[in-house]
Amino acid sequence: MAVTVRIPTALRRITQGQGEVQIEASTIGELIEKLEQEFPGIKERLLDENGEIRKFVNFFVNDEDIRFLQGKDTKLKEGDVVSIIPAIAGGK
């Protein structure tokens, strides 16, 4: 199941400048492992030392925050778009 992953600027050095990559994965957790195989070093940017998604990293599946879905267990299907976005933005 191929999904499109949108990569933020902060990680593009690891993806050789690519802003969008195609990955085969059925959950967010698996997607992170597959990303690591293709782009070594990306996993430690996304997960903290306990293997949890870092506090300031947000994942969205088709525009919905995975914290409103099933977190790392959120299921993926063919054609889904996963966005990785820094939490730090906006402000008042």
Q: Does 49 bind another protein (CB under 8 A)?
A: no
Q: Does 90 bind another protein (CB under 8 A)?
A: yes
Burial, 20: exposed, middle or buried (Cβ in 10 Å; 0-12, 13-18, 19+)? exposed
Q: Does 10 bind another protein (CB under 8 A)?
A: yes
Nearest approach, Cβ of 46 to another protein (angstroms)? Answer: 8
Any idea of the CA torsion for 91, 50, 15, 40, to the nearest 10 degrees? 170
Instruction: Supply φ then ψ for residue 31, to 5 degrees.
Output: -60, -40
Instruction: State the residues that interact with another protein by CB under 8 A.
Output: 6, 8-11, 13, 19, 45, 54-58, 60, 63, 65, 67-68, 83, 85-92
